């Protein structure tokens, strides 16, 4: 790995997360992949180690890090299992809008428990008819006195059912299109807020992906993030800071696959010598390693840019997510190839990484949407 | 409830320790040092009692100055205070001198309701220092504790592992427990714990600070004589007869006969 000039605290986060990944996550990854149970014992271990607080300001009980710290933790944990890591990474997706747009009261109310890992968060925008096209949101929020009444269904929600704190995007004024969307903080247990179908997925099976159902769910008006009509902007700004996290999940999965494939190539004997001595395998490993390092460099640079306070980061953030997830898909596929027949078997972890990698090209904006964002910004910059 | 104490030891991180055949001592060069694995369970149990009763968990180790690293690691897991018992005069202590010195150090630090030790250290494997400390302190002890069933400010009920199963014992506090790995799953350090451990001041207790008899320290106070240390020869694995039962029995009987003769 290249030297990224990490500071003492970042190195500490990296080393501790590496230890957790090796000692607590790796031994259980295959089991959780099989059973699809939510990894609460690992949530507890991460909480005890203060990992949930890495990027939450100290005044709310965190360690005061930024996006880079979330990325470092996500990468290390994902080396052992990209699915289990989501309990952490998706909680940050859920709490990022509160960090970015919450008022002091909301931050004081929600962040300390999330920093301590006592509670998990989730973010909910996707609906059956609204994926990449957020303007298709059907969930409504009607004002009624001191409350908003929510009706509708969100689906494919990561940490759904397991999280306590949800940021939900609903239409408070349908006539305004995207400008009519509002972000609400909802709590598990609120009247009219229930959970529906749990998805059976190709990969990241240790992560809960579930429906949220709102039936005349009353949300107090002080639970609005920012103000009415800001839902779409909050979503876009949240994705700007969360996409390097998805990229880090992809990076971790890829780096884990690269390490396993390199190790295996030195052990596997064919034609009387380790397959690592064949140029065909060497070149594959060389390409994989180069792409993994390039993804890491892009992610770290983007995270540092965000942490330095640069305002316009959509393009770089999209680039990091696009490149790292495409890299993860390619590297994990090549890792299966290097493992040969064994790579295809469920008894070995190579195929799981390939299944886990695929989602990173799809969620938090498909890679086609990422390219749209990049191109739009590119053209805008040229037109200035 | 008084505070909780845990006694730990820094040991070489290897199951395959090399021994210098001339001096009969461990070759420590180039070997990473860790907290004795059994002591990790003792640390975890001490932290759990601390959390339960709202008291402090204190760690103590006797060893060379570099054993401070073991105490810092214990702090990163949640130990509040740490003491290093260290002096050239302690060098060469056997289990008798070690437990005497540690007992004196404990008396110096203060009163503890429970003292935890790992059941034995992975380098010496004697399992004598824990019981020795309790004897010198004149407090009751239970060795090989696998579960604390109940504990209040005056008594504890614990399960003690034996070769056949386990015993349930009730014991008044203050007391000393040596613990086995079945008792818990040690936690990892926390980020805040690591930061605290970096700034933590480890308190040094040397011979001058302890009220001790010099004759009972170090080599002078150690009646144990090590005549030889060696790695036992690897035992051959057993033979398995996979043929039909009747034939297998016959082969087995013959093999046993040959073994006896």
Q: What is the ipTM of this complex?
A: 0.88
pLDDT tops 80 at residue A372: yes
Q: How far is CA B41 from CA A144, B116, B118, B119, B134, in A?
A: 56, 9, 7, 10, 19
Q: Does A18 touch chain B (CB under 8 A)?
A: no
pLDDT of residue A48: 95
Residues of chain A with CATH 1.20.140.10: 232-383
Catalytic residue among A316, A351, A364, A381: A364
% of chain B residues with pLDDT over 70? 97
C-alpha span between B103 and A46 (Å, rounded): 37
Q: Over the stretch B73-102, which tens digit does the pLDDT of each residue have? A: 999 999 999 999 999 999 989 999 999 999
Going by pLDDT thresholds of 50, 70 and 90, the confidence category of residue B12 is confident
Binned at pLDDT 50, 70 and 90, residue B15 comes out as low
Mean pLDDT of A117-130: 95
CATH homologous superfamily for the domain A122-229:
Butyryl-CoA Dehydrogenase, subunit A, domain 2 (2.40.110.10)
Say whether A45 and B195 touch across the interface (CB within 8 A): no
Q: Report, as an integer, the average pLDDT of A28-41.
A: 96
Residue B114 phi, psi dihedral angles, 5° rounding: -135, 135
**B194 near A CB under 8 A:** yes
Q: Report the range of poorest mean pLDDT among A77-81, A95-99, A131-135, B248-252.
A: A131-135
Nearest to B37 by CA among B121, B130, B124, B160: B121
Q: How confident is the model at residue B219 (pLDDT cuts 50, 70, 90)?
A: confident
B53-to-A48, A299, B154 alpha-carbon distances in Å = 19, 45, 13
B109-133 as b/e: b if 16+ CB within 10 A: beebbbbbbbbbbbebeebbbbbbb
Q: Write out pLDDT tens, residues A302-347.
A: 999 999 999 999 999 999 999 999 999 999 999 999 999 999 999 9
CA dist A149 and A216 (Å) reads 5
Which residues of chain B have a CB within 8 Å of the CB of A23? 188
Give yes or no for residue A44 having a pLDDT over 70: yes
Which residue of B187, B188, B194 is in closest CB contact with A12?
Answer: B194
Q: Where are the domains of chain B?
A: 3-216
pLDDT at A78 over 80: yes
3-class SS of residue A164: coil
Q: How far apart are CA B133 and CA B57, in angstroms?
A: 18
The residues of chain A that CATH labels 1.10.540.10 are 8-119
Chain B residue with the nearest C-alpha to that of A48: B190
Map chain B to HEC letters.
Answer: CCEEEEEECEEECCCCCCEECCCCEECCCCCCEEECHHHHHHHHHHHHHHHHHCCCEEEEEECCHHHHHHHHHHHHHCCCEEEEECCHHHCCCCHHHHHHHHHHHHHHHCCEEEEEEECCCCCCCCCCHHHHHHHHHCCCEEEEEEEEEEECCCEEEEEEECCCCEEEEEEECCEEEEECHHHCCCCCCCHHHHHHHHHCCCEEECHHHCCCCHHHCCCCCCCCCCCCCCCCCCCCCCCCCCCCHHHHHHHHHHHHHHHHC
B13 has a pLDDT exceeding 90:
no
Other CB atoms within 10 Å distance of the CB of residue B254 = 10
B28 versus A155: the higher-pLDDT residue is A155
Contact A215, A151 (CB under 8 A): yes
- Give domain A8-119's CATH superfamily: Acyl-CoA dehydrogenase/oxidase, N-terminal domain (1.10.540.10)
Nearest CA in chain B to A51: B191
**Most A CBs within 10 Å, among B43, B78, B191, to test the A interface:** B191
Would you place residue A17 in the very low, low, confident or very high pLDDT band (cuts 50, 70, 90)? very high
Record the pTM: 0.88
Assign domain B3-216 to its CATH architecture: 3-Layer(aba) Sandwich (3.40)
Span A140-154, average pLDDT:
96
Start-end of CATH 2.40.110.10 domains in chain A: 122-229
Residue B17 has what pLDDT? 66
Q: In this predicted structure, what is the pLDDT of residue B18? A: 73
More confident of the two residues B213 and A282: A282
**DSSP structural state of residue A221:** G
Note if A364 is an active site residue.
yes
Integer Cα distance of B43 and B196 in angstroms: 17
Cβ-based neighbours of B41, under 8 Å, separated by 6 or more: B118, B179, B180, B181, B183, B184, B186
Residue A281: phi and psi, rounded to 5, are -75, -40
Res. A3: pLDDT tops 70: yes
Q: Specify the pLDDT at position A312.
A: 92
What pLDDT sits at residue B122? 85
Q: Which has the closest alpha carbon to A304: A238, A252, A244, A360?
A: A244
pLDDT of residue B26 exceeding 80: no
**Amino acid B16: pLDDT:** 61
State the pLDDT confidence band at B129, using cuts at 50, 70 and 90.
very high
Among A59-63, A88-92, B32-36, the minimum mean pLDDT is found in B32-36
pLDDT of residue B259: 82
Least confident of A226-230, B1-5, B237-241: B237-241
CA dist., res. B220 & res. A232, Å (int): 78
CATH fold of A232-383 = Butyryl-CoA Dehydrogenase, subunit A; domain 3 (1.20.140)
Q: How confident is the model at residue B41 (pLDDT cuts 50, 70, 90)?
A: very high
SS3 assignment, position A144: strand
């Amino acid at each position: 790995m290249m030297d990224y000039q990490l500071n003492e605290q970042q190195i500490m986060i990296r080393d501790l997360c590496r230890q957790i990944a090796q000692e607590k996550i790796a031994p259980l990854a295959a089991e959780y992949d099989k059973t699809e149970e939510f990894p609460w014992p690992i949530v507890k271990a991460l909480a005890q180690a203060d990992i949930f607080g890495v990027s939450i300001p100290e005044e709310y009980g965190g360690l005061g890090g930024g996006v880079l710290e979330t990325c470092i933790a996500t990468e290390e944990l994902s080396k052992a299992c990209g699915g289990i890591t989501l309990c952490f990474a998706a909680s940050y997706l859920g709490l990022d809008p509160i960090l970015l747009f919450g008022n002091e009261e909301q931050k004081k109310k929600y962040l300390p428990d999330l920093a301590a890992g006592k509670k998990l968060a989730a973010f909910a925008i996707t609906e059956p008819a609204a994926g990449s096209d957020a303007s298709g949101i059907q969930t409504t929020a009607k004002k009624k006195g001191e409350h908003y009444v929510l009706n509708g269904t969100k689906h494919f929600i990561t940490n759904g059912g397991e999280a306590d704190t949800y940021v939900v995007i609903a239409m408070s004024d349908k006539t305004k299109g995207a400008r009519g969307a509002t972000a609400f903080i909802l709590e598990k247990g609120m009247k009219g807020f229930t959970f529906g179908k749990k998805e059976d997925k190709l990969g990241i099976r240790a992560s809960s992906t579930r429906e949220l159902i709102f039936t005349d769910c009353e949300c107090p008006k002080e639970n609005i993030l920012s103000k009415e009509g800001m839902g779409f902007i909050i979503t876009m700004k949240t994705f700007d800071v969360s996409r390097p996290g998805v990229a880090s999940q992809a990076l971790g999965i890829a780096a884990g696959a690269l390490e396993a494939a390199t190790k295996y190539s030195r052990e596997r004997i064919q034609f009387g010598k380790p397959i690592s001595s064949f140029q065909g395998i060497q070149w594959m490993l060389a390409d994989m390693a180069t792409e993994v390092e390039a993804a890491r460099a892009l992610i770290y640079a983007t995270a540092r840019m965000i942490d330095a306070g640069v305002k316009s980061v959509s393009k770089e953030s999209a680039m990091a997510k696009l490149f790292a997830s495409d890299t993860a898909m390619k590297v994990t596929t090549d890792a299966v190839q290097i493992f040969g027949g064994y790579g295809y078997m469920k008894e070995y972890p190579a195929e799981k990484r390939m299944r886990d990698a695929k989602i990173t090209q799809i969620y938090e904006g498909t890679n086609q949407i990422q390219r749209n964002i990049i191109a739009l910004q590119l053209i805008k910059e040229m037109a200035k | 409830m008084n505070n909780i104490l845990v006694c730990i030891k820094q040991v070489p991180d290897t199951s395959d320790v090399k021994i210098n055949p001339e001096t009969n001592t461990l070759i420590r060069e180039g070997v990473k040092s860790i907290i004795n694995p059994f002591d990790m369970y003792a640390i975890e149990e001490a932290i759990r009692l601390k959390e339960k009763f709202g008291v402090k968990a204190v760690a103590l180790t006797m060893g060379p100055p570099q054993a401070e690293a073991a105490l810092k690691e214990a702090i990163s897991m949640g130990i509040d205070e740490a003491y290093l018992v260290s002096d050239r005069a302690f060098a060469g202590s056997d289990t008798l001198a070690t437990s005497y010195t540690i007992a004196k150090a404990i008396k110096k630090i203060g009163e503890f309701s429970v003292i935890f030790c790992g059941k034995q250290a992975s380098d010496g494997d004697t399992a004598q220092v824990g019981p020795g400390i309790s004897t010198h302190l004149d407090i009751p002890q239970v060795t090989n504790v696998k579960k604390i069933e109940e504990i209040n400010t005056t008594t504890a009920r614990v399960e003690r592992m034996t070769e056949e199963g386990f015993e349930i014992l009730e014991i008044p506090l203050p007391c000393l427990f040596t613990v086995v790995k079945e008792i818990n799953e040690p936690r990892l350090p926390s980020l805040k714990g690591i930061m605290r451990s970096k700034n933590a001041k480890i308190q040094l207790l040397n011979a001058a600070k302890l009220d001790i008899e010099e004759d009972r320290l170090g080599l002078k106070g150690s009646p144990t004589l090590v005549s030889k240390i060696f790695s036992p020869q690897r035992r051959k694995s057993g033979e398995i007869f996979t043929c039909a039962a009747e034939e297998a029995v016959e082969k087995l009987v013959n093999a046993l006969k040959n073994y006896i003769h």
